[in-house]
Chains A and B, each alone.
Chain A
């Protein structure tokens, strides 16, 4: 049996009346991870407000991500944080919902330039574990009225409350995008090249490195046509000391490269566990080396995707890092044994546990998902 609330009021009632744990699901792209009665937000659907001239969109949490993308694209706008579609990697059958995107703070390659999902999120409505309906933030992009619970909800994996509505600051999508490719760099040189590009004023919107037989280091820029032409030329000059640079102007080719990086396509369909490691970029090559697996880099080298043999304790392999490693794809046994999320220092863990106890005193929302 799955609970299917059609309205926020129904959802609040269901949570108040719940006799045991609830496993909250959006589009079902990821495996639930929590035990208990399934609760789907699919019935809370639809864009409730879109003002292109104010760069604002508001949608119910169960709205498919594709619907948001299409609505914005019709006005030449987009979600700045480039949310991934992880269905291919995770082997799920569902499609991402906007609520699921927020609950996982899912952010793609543009995160280095435009911020994460939590940075574009300007308002939420949710039902907490007591069944209370709470709103925070709103539909305006500058708002410091009270605490920023929207950020707390982003990435909370449904453990503090069930999202019912989310608002975003959106941005004009670039009119033109171009890519720059350097072939043959080792990881350390690639990291230096990406750091130089990101330290330039040319507004790089993506910086990734794909090692392999023919390593490829990719940069992306976007904007008005003349501007993109100018900046790709300047960046090519800046990158010349690292190796021969190819400028890719074919829009489909650029889009395809970055979609593959965004969705972790290089590891889709391959056996093994998938980890996501966030470190300062200059630590990237060393951490990747210690992981012992197949890796590729996004976010200028600060995000490492690693494919390792099933059951590998990657955290033990990489040792103490300034950052964190999250288990993205693995068996339930491995998750239980290693934990999905990086352990927090004791003082922080105490605060986290305290917040959970306040927002969900019965411990019924996605219990154990973030433990």
Chain B
């Protein structure tokens, strides 16, 4: 993993830069002791680490603005950090960068049930947003699997998804407005509790820009009334092809399940052994969940089971009560833990057209043999977002590199069949150098122009998203 050379000028002026930050922020909010900055050397992509120049933990939008103004004036790169759960290295610093952490900004600023929104500071965790309105019967829909820990600020930066986005959409579809602080330290209100933009949809391009356009300190989020109930059904199949065809038929029949999760045999076996979920021994398995009242659930599940039966399932398991439902989800929800027990793994995140599913799974099986590494597949089948988990041994020299090479092949395959490199984790540093596979130079140029406008000096999280060679000239001029 190549990162840009740190700026010698910035490193040389560390004392002056840190003293400036201390003048701006209260006692304890500036961290530059090398023993302590190590806590910020990586995010959940732990294979790559680099302690930052310093880390700052502001408590307000005004403090964020003052920090950015200071860094901008001194040409210091800034890397924003939510909760540090990025799997793509979105919060990986360079040694000349200041990490701007949002951890202290976690207040609920406004709750408005009549207009169905909540406004929060973006260091607040995803789950605690729902927690703030749960008692009133509302929830915040995007539910990434790290939702207990991940921050709304990170969700906005990466446009995070989750298991339920087939019905509810991803972050961008549930984000109404932001307070954005630009690298120059200007505070902008974009969007709000009303719908749509008066002019260009800046909110739409800010969401998912991986912290490269500005730092979002406050967010207005759409909240939804909780459904009356939800229930999953488990369906086992004798092949991936049949499971894929069943997904397509369910969707074509006009039912919109809230989630359709797919697991292949290696994943079923590993999760069952780990969790004791009692999964069937079969090639492929779907968990389909629907929502509504008792009667509505029965109506939808009736239709889904009728379709499933046409595909000769080897197992059909309806949840009769909450315990059954929890058991059906148990293995799926522990998939990552189960894999972690078997070995180290990397988790990919490409999306494919649902129709290409059998072909892609077959090719992943072949790649697994070629590279000599095991792969387990678990993914959101309704929207084609795959999460192949490639197992490797971090203690074995060269294994990580083999694993990454195989991951790159799988992602190229996703693009080849009409999909994309990342469905919900983001590009970060992890997939930065594969962007040329999906985009032509003109496509990347158009995206980089947007950054030119928001952050002309390319100081904000600049070593991410774009291949270093593509962004080199811009970062150098800066």
Contact = CB atoms under 8 A, between A and B. Distances in A.
Interface of A: 51-56, 75-76, 105, 107, 111-112, 115-116, 118-119, 128, 132-136, 138-152, 154-156, 160, 171-173, 175, 195, 198-201, 223-224, 226-227, 230-231, 234, 278-282, 299, 302-303, 322-324, 326, 341-345, 347-349, 351-352, 354-355, 358-359, 370
B198 A199 contact: no
Nearest to B450: A147
B421 A198 contact: no
A105 B196 contact: yes
B353 interface: yes
Contacts of B187: 347
Interface hub of B113, B198, B253, B447 (most chain A Cβ within 10 A): B198
A152 B198 contact: no
A54 B251 CA distance: 7
Given A140-B384, A141-B384, A75 B252 contact: yes
B192 A322 contact: yes
Interface in B338-384: 351-355, 380, 383-384
B351 A140 contact: yes
Contacts of A145: 420-422, 427, 431, 435, 438
Given A148-B205, A172-B254, A172-B255, A142 B161 contact: yes
A323 B192 contact: yes
A191 to B, nearest CB: 9
Contacts of B200: 152, 155-156, 160, 352, 355, 370
Given A54-B354, A54-B355, A133-B442, A341 B198 contact: yes
B201 A226 contact: no
Interface stretch (B28-36, B222-230, B316-324): B222-230
Contact of A152 (B190, B204, B352): B204
Given A152-B450, A345-B189, A352-B199, A280 B418 contact: no
A141 B383 contact: yes
Interface in B200-219: 200-205, 207-209
7 contacts: A51-B354, A112-B195, A132-B442, A142-B424, A146-B444, A147-B205, A227-B300
A358 B449 CA distance: 6
A147 B293 contact: no
A349 B446 CA distance: 20
B390 to A, nearest CB: 19
Q: What range describes how many residues of B lie at the interface? A: 35 or more
A351 to B, nearest CB: 6
Nearest to A353: B453
Contacts of B47: none
Contacts, number: 263
A213 to B, nearest CB: 28
B379 to A, nearest CB: 10
Interface in B382-396: 383-385
Contacts of B453: 351, 354-355, 358
Contact of B202 (A75, A112, A143, A351): A351
A299 B447 CA distance: 33
Do most interface residues of chain A lie in helix, strand or loop, or is the interface mixed?
A: mixed
Contact of B194 (A227, A322, A354): A322
Given A118-B201, A149-B446, A201-B228, A143 B188 contact: no
A302 B117 CA distance: 13
A352 B202 CA distance: 8
B447 A147 contact: yes
Interface stretch (B54-62, B67-75, B77-85, B165-173): B165-173
A251 B363 CA distance: 48
B186 A347 contact: yes
Nearest to A299: B195
A344 B295 CA distance: 48
A347 B202 CA distance: 12
B306 interface: no
Given A172-B254, A351-B202, A199 B225 contact: yes
Contacts of B165: 142
Contact of A348 (B190, B425, B451): B190
A140 B454 contact: no
Contacts of B48: none
Interface string B423-454: 11111000100010011101111110111111
A359 B453 CA distance: 11
Contacts of A139: 353, 418
Contact of A146 (B161, B195, B255, B435): B435
B299 interface: yes
Nearest to A147: B447
A149 B195 contact: no
A142 B420 CA distance: 9
Interface of B: 112-117, 137-138, 158-159, 161, 165, 169-170, 172-173, 182, 186-190, 192-205, 207-209, 225-228, 247-249, 251-256, 292-293, 295-296, 299-300, 303, 351-355, 380, 383-385, 418-427, 431, 435, 438-440, 442-447, 449-454, 465
B251 A53 contact: yes
Contacts of B254: 76, 172-173, 175, 224
A5 to B, nearest CB: 18
B156 to A, nearest CB: 11
B226 A201 contact: yes
A198 B112 CA distance: 13
Contacts of B209: 147-148
Contacts of A133: 442
A118 B353 contact: no
Given A140-B352, A323-B192, A119 B158 contact: no
Given A51-B353, A51-B355, A142-B165, A281 B115 contact: yes
A154 B355 contact: no
A53 to B, nearest CB: 3
Contacts of B384: 54, 140-142
B138 to A, nearest CB: 8
Contact of B426 (A144, A224, A354): A144
Contact of B423 (A142, A231, A355, A358): A142
Contacts of A76: 254
Contacts of A322: 192-194
A341 B351 contact: no
Contact of B196 (A116, A140, A149, A347): A116
A119 B173 contact: yes
Contacts of A142: 161, 165, 170, 351, 380, 383-385, 423-424
Contacts of A111: 195
Contacts of A358: 449-450, 452-453
B323 to A, nearest CB: 23
B207 A148 contact: yes
A242 B384 CA distance: 44
B422 A144 contact: yes
Nearest to A357: B453
A148 B446 contact: no
B199 to A, nearest CB: 5
Contacts of B170: 142, 144
Given A53-B354, A341-B198, A354-B453, A152 B385 contact: no
B304 to A, nearest CB: 11
A173 B256 CA distance: 10
B190 A198 contact: no
